Amino acid sequence: MSTVQYTCVEQSCLLQRRAACETENDTVEKTARRSWHLGRIVEGAYDALDIQIEVNGVESSRRYGAFLRVLYLLQRDLDVLYGRTDLRVLAADLHQRRQLLKLEYALRALAVSVPAIKSQRLPSSTTWASVTGWLFVGEATNLYAAILYRLIQRRRPRPRDESCNLLQAYLFDAPEEVDRRWRSTIRALDEALLSQQEEKELLCGTMEAVQQLRRYVEAELK
């Protein structure tokens, strides 16, 4: 079976992404953490992204635009969740983390079409635990995107063509802020007291969101 040979940039992206899932000075065995198990599920979707990035690249404005379309489609599905007050136990600033308008601006700046709203895919269950699984995938994907963006900038600080300057249209928050948000989210998730039924719903919601993300990757990053 063939294996994907990653460039230094892609390898760095993989390592940084996985390292970011670990909390500092963690005294609990990592496999006992709820977020660790959910993170392993999300890895499958990221592996699909990594392969597409390795094969096709994302450094041109067109290819990066396709990547942003993936993010836009997922955030479109998640957007309603950022306004749910019962989810703010995971992040008090949840309503400020919406990415949809920022992504739409970035796509237009890159002259890439914004995906048409045909049918918004909402979680099949709207219980707190189920939609928390979807939110976990969304926040993890934001972290992935921020890491990838920073790596692209390091690799090509002075793009060969002016259109690549528009990669900066998607203005991520400062790396420290992205990391802080991610760590605070998984800490709150790990500390939440859930029943057995809620644990199952959380798992199902995460898997459902991952499947949706994979569909968007396959459709947009061909």
Dump the DSSP string for 35-60: HHHHHHHHHHHHHHHHHHHHHH-S-S
The structural domain count of the chain equals 1
Query: Considering the domain boundaries, does residue 133 fall inside one?
Result: yes
Query: Considering the domain boundaries, does residue 11 fall inside one?
Result: no
Which of 44 and 96 is assigned the larger pLDDT?
96
| Per-residue pLDDT tens digits for 5-42 | 334 444 444 444 444 444 444 444 544 689 988 988 88
Residue 199 has pLDDT above 50, yes or no: yes
Highest mean pLDDT: which range of 54-63, 76-85, 166-175: 76-85
d(CA 75, CA 99): 7
Considering the chain, what is the average pLDDT of its residues?
76
Question: What residues contact 131, with CB distance under 8 A and at least 6 apart?
Answer: 81, 84, 87, 123, 125, 205
Query: Considering the domain boundaries, does residue 22 fall inside one?
Result: no
d(CA 221, CA 198): 34
Query: Considering the domain boundaries, does residue 154 fall inside one?
Result: yes
Q: Are 71 and 146 in contact (CB under 8 A)?
A: no
The pLDDT assigned to 77 comes to 92
- CATH label of the domain that carries residue 94: 1.20.910.10
What are the structure tokens assigned to 184, written together?
Answer: 């605070």
* Residue 190 three-state SS: helix
Question: What residues contact 133, with CB distance under 8 A and at least 6 apart?
Answer: 38, 123, 201, 202, 203, 204, 205, 206, 207, 208, 209
Query: Considering the domain boundaries, does residue 25 fall inside one?
Result: no
Task: Give me the domain span that covers residue 84.
Answer: 34-221
The pLDDT assigned to 7 comes to 45
Q: Are 113 and 62 in contact (CB under 8 A)?
A: no
Query: Considering the domain boundaries, does residue 29 fall inside one?
Result: no
CA nearest to 50, candidates 220, 217, 219: 217
For residue 156, what pLDDT band results from cuts at 50, 70 and 90?
Answer: low
The pLDDT assigned to 16 comes to 47
Query: Considering the domain boundaries, does residue 13 fall inside one?
Result: no
Query: Considering the domain boundaries, does residue 26 fall inside one?
Result: no
Residue 84 has pLDDT above 80, yes or no: yes
